[in-house]
Amino acid sequence: MPTNHLYFLGTAGSGKSTMTHAFQVWLQNQGYDSVTVNLDPGADELLYPPDVDVRDWIRLSEVMSEYGLGPNGAQVVAADMLALNVKEISQVLAEYDTDYFLIDTPGQMELFTFRQSSRIIIDELSGENAVIGFLFDPQVARTPNGYVTSLMLAATAHFRLQRPMVSVLAKADSLRETDLERIALWSQDFYALMNALLDESIEAQTQVSVEFLQALESLGAGRPVVPVSSDELQGFEDLYNTVQQVLRGGEDIER
């Protein structure tokens, strides 16, 4: 059976690296093997030692020095350099016999989402065996406007990367139970979310959010969100089952 490739994508600070490490720990506890892959050339420190690290090929500090660029310009150049080196990285991944590749994407989500090079990277590393785990920031998603904003970002990433996507509510343990219940309802019921938006405010911003929400509904962007706590290793069974459903029709990995 082909190896699953799970890409963790989200805004800066949403918990991608923490999630990568925590899910690997959970998989190991269940008897599954996994390989962590860091695709962020600008990462200063990681909570885990990546098994495959793009910084072995490209480092942001070196790109800045060589090309005389600031951090943002260097990130763009590094993203394109990553695409040029992706065959070498793919060859390294091919040497592993594992159940999962857990792929930690760059901290600046827009660099991975909007660069054409990212499609090249996913095609080369994963083929059709890839799913995007899009991380919703809990402090943003806890309000109706914030949830719609997160939904828009997820839909944009889905459209750009053209891979199946799982919506993941990161750091779920930081929210109250009532917040979790509301977010779960919003993720499954567009009318409940629309009513929450209308109840929140009658300002123009909310009206725009409702219009975007209606457009997203027509695109079928709504999907249940999976609450996960990396600190408490909670929710990962649901995440595993969801990914298996998306890529393998629910078939479990043979151990």
pLDDT of residue 204: 44
pLDDT of residue 213: 65
Tell me the DSSP string of 93-158.
HHT---SEEEEE--SSHHHHHH-HHHHHHHHHHHTT-EEEEEEEPHHHHTSHHHHHHHHHHHHHHH
Q: Rounded to whole angstroms, what are the CA distances from 147 to 51, 122, 229? A: 34, 27, 18
DSSP state of 7: E
- Which of 218 and 5 is assigned the larger pLDDT? 5
Domains and their CATH numbers in the chain: 4-175+224-248 (3.40.50.300)
d(Cα 172, Cα 174) in Å, to the nearest integer? 5
| Range of lowest pLDDT (13-22, 102-111, 214-223) | 214-223
Which pair of structure tokens corresponds to residue 193?
Answer: 């979310």
Residue indicated by tokens 């590094």: 78
198-252 pLDDT, tens digit per residue, is: 777 655 455 556 666 666 665 545 678 999 999 999 999 999 999 999 888 867 7
Tell me the DSSP string of 193-211.
HHHHHHHH--SHHHHHHHH
20-58 pLDDT, tens digit per residue, is: 999 999 999 999 999 999 999 888 888 899 999 999 998
Strands 34-38 and 4-10, sheet pairing:
unpaired
Averaged pLDDT for residues 86-102: 93
